[in-house]
Structure 1
Amino acid sequence: MIWFSNGRKRFSELTEQQVLALAISSEEDDARIYASYAERLGEFPASAAVFRAMEAEENEHRRALIAEHERRFGGAIPLIRREHVAEYFSRSPVWLVANLGLDRIREEAERMEEAACRFYDAAVKRATDPSTRRLFGDLAEAERQHKGKAHDLTETLLDPQSREGEDKTARRQMILTLVQPGLAGLMDGSVSTLAPIFATAFATQDPWTTFLVGIAASVGAGISMGFTEAAHDDGVLSGRGSPVKRGFASGIMTAAGGLGHALPYLIPDFWTATMIAFAVVFVELWAIVWIQHRFMETPIARATVQVVVGGALVLAAGILIGGG
């Protein structure tokens, strides 16, 4: 019997009792995962009901497997879990999947059922007892149909009106957690760095010096915005979601906004670099206007005044200060 250096065995090396024990622990784990999904989806009651029904299905499978183990091997079930077996399918951490949103959780549940089906298909080939073989075959078919049942449960418990409401809630959460902080960062990075970058450019007419100032201003603003966003609101009362996600979204987009018109100054020729930087600024500002209108539902006229006109004034101030 060959063991891996990390202590895991191949599936082909397991005895029938160990395969049964592995199936029992896997069904128990899956039931707990579905229960965790249902608990975490408290703001989506219809979807939570779907996962509670799927939890009940997994518990029924577990009870059938335990009864078969008791019939053949007694009540002492070996402690063996999926992490003890090489080549066995893994599960994403519940906290990670749940933080990725409702649609991601639904996709992970479908993958769980597909992986369970493959496991029981493999277990059938290992079983020698007719009753055990039949049980594994029945569970493989059940898991094969479970994806369809999950769909049926969704259709039954998650009517179109509930689904639309949940999708709106999920979209709102995505906007609050990622889009809004990212947009604020992009606006800050794109607009606030215009004056120092172009003041340096026209004061020195040295592309490399301008590039260094631009990098420093962009990265510094990104770090500042990221920490500020993450620290000022933990999201518990405001409902704006993870402060870490918001901090990364704000910090990265702030730095990106400034780097957009700093990178052209890697070009040695000053006027060529400056003309390209002007073009980048034009694209950045209108991209912000579109994002504001698309996700924040800001009227085009108001977004244009806020972003394009404001950015143009900051740009002009930097040019006048540097050129003077």
Structure 2
Amino acid sequence: MKAFAELTEREILAVAIAGEEEDSRIYLAFAEDLAERYPDSARLFTEMAEQEKNHRHMLLQLYEDRFGPNLPPIRREDVKGFIRRRPIWMTRNLPLDRIRKEAETMEFEAHRFYTRAAERSTDVGIRKLLTDLAEIEKHHEHNAAKLSDKILTAEVRSEEDHTRRRMFVLQYVQPGLAGLMDGSVSTLAPLFAAAFATHNNWQTFLVGLAASIGAGISMGFAEALSDDGSLTGRGSPWLRGTICGLMTTIGGLGHTIPYLVPDAWANAFWIATAIAGLVVFLELWAIAYIRAKYMDTPFLQAVFQIVLGGVVVLAAGILIGGA
């Protein structure tokens, strides 16, 4: 690899040409990825890709005037400390805000490169073009904002915000909520059955731990294998599976951990059970709140459904354990 300070003017222009071409392809990839979800933002990135193509044309024309048609085989990856771009395959299905932030970073880094390159250039024409491009890149974010205001009207932004919220619910809230509900409710029966059957905190904790981890693994695989996200837009199946599995485990561990109260304490069983009961109440209330906030379920209806189900499962566990 070569240090930036070792580059000749010919190599600087060649790297800049390759960089503009790559940035244009990245913006087109953003546009293609967003076309179905956010068509207006996709059009914005298509416009930005066209601007990068124009920059490349300006650089290439100057290069051919100065050095002829043959470009040296040098790329960004061949220069130490040069700006790096995320591989295209890593930019697929990113949230809209992340993609816009990625574009801002790209323009900032391009501005920095052109500024440094202009400082090192001794050719007046090359230095002028690099300086002009540095200024263009510096104000590119501002220009994009104006273009955004033109394309992304209030109505369009409202539609995209709605789409973004729907994608967030599909990809994160739904699997997380399903896991939390399963972990919080399904582990109640085995945990409290073990508690009232043994009146031993440590044994109860082991049963709850096993039930929580087992349910988490089961729910995680079930969610990951249920839908690959290609048609529903629910995102990566393994991300959903991980979220669902973790939330299932957390839901079960919430009312399991209180049984770590040492059995040597006076009334240790009833202390742990009282704390676990309070945790169960908080878990069920949190589930009802999440359903009301993100799933458009009336809050009182959500409370009734979740609390009723939880109470029934809890009662079943206590009755079985006390039999």
Normalization by structure 1: what TM-score?
Answer: 0.93
Larger deviation: 100-109 or 76-85?
Answer: 76-85
Q: Distance in 2 between matches of 1:177 and 1:241?
A: 6
Q: How does 1:33-48 map to 2 (within 5 A)?
A: 33-43=26-36, 44-48=38-42
The residue number in structure 2 matching 1:317 is 316
Q: C-alpha offsets along residues 243-268 of structure 1, whole Å, 9 cap, x if unaligned?
A: 22221221111111111111222221
CA contact (8 A) 1:186 1:288 kept: yes
The residue number in structure 2 matching 1:272 is 271
Task: Report the Cα offset of residue 181 of structure 1.
Answer: 1.4
Q: Distance in 2 between matches of 1:287 and 1:52?
A: 43
Q: Distance in 2 between matches of 1:109 and 1:152?
A: 15
Q: Distance in 1 between matches of 2:201 and 2:222?
A: 31
Task: Report the Cα offset of residue 314 of structure 1.
Answer: 1.0
Q: C-alpha offsets along residues 146-190 of structure 1, whole Å, 9 cap, x if unaligned?
A: 000110111111111111111111211111121111111110011
- Within the candidate set 6, 9, 12, 1:13 is matched to 6
Identity across the alignment (%): 56
Say which SS state the counterpart of residue 86 (structure 1) adopts.
coil
- Within the candidate set 175, 179, 184, 2:178 is matched to 184
Q: C-alpha offsets along residues 258-310 of structure 1, whole Å, 9 cap, x if unaligned?
A: 11111222221433322222221111110000000000010112211221121
Task: Report the Cα offset of residue 71 of structure 1.
Answer: 2.0
Q: How does 1:1-324 map to 2 (within 5 A)?
A: 8-43=1-36, 44-268=38-262, 269-324=268-323
Q: C-alpha offsets along residues 35-70 of structure 1, whole Å, 9 cap, x if unaligned?
A: 001111112211111001000000011111111221
The residue number in structure 2 matching 1:5 is none
Amino acid at match of 1:23: A
CA contact (8 A) 1:97 1:104 kept: no
Amino acid at match of 2:147: L
CA contact (8 A) 1:98 1:105 kept: no
Amino acid at match of 1:137: T
Say which SS state the counterpart of residue 232 (structure 2) adopts.
coil
CA contact (8 A) 1:221 1:254 kept: yes
Q: Distance in 2 between matches of 1:135 and 1:77?
A: 18
Stretches of 4+ aligned residues off by more than 6 angstroms: none
CA contact (8 A) 1:97 1:108 kept: no
Say which SS state the counterpart of residue 74 (structure 2) adopts.
coil
Instruction: Call closer, same or farther: CA 1:79–1:215 in 2, change over 3 Å.
Output: farther
Q: Distance in 2 between matches of 1:219 and 1:84?
A: 48
Larger deviation: 37-46 or 291-300?
Answer: 37-46
Say which SS state the counterpart of residue 238 (structure 1) adopts.
coil
CA contact (8 A) 2:114 2:133 kept: yes
Instruction: Call closer, same or farther: CA 1:266–1:14 in 2, change over 3 Å.
Output: farther
Task: Report the Cα offset of residue 232 of structure 1.
Answer: 1.8
Aligned pairs, number: 317
Q: C-alpha offsets along residues 175-211 of structure 1, whole Å, 9 cap, x if unaligned?
A: 1121111111110011001111111122222222222
Say which SS state the counterpart of residue 75 (structure 1) adopts.
coil
Q: Distance in 1 between matches of 2:280 and 2:87?
A: 41
Q: Distance in 2 between matches of 1:77 and 1:11?
A: 18
Larger deviation: 298-307 or 260-269?
Answer: 260-269
Amino acid at match of 1:306: Q
Q: Distance in 1 between matches of 2:169 and 2:248?
A: 17
Instruction: Call closer, same or farther: CA 1:81–1:275 in 2, change over 3 Å.
Output: farther
Q: Distance in 1 between matches of 2:254 and 2:295?
A: 23
CA contact (8 A) 2:76 2:82 kept: yes
Q: Distance in 2 between matches of 1:206 and 1:100?
A: 49
Gaps of 5+ in 2: 263-267
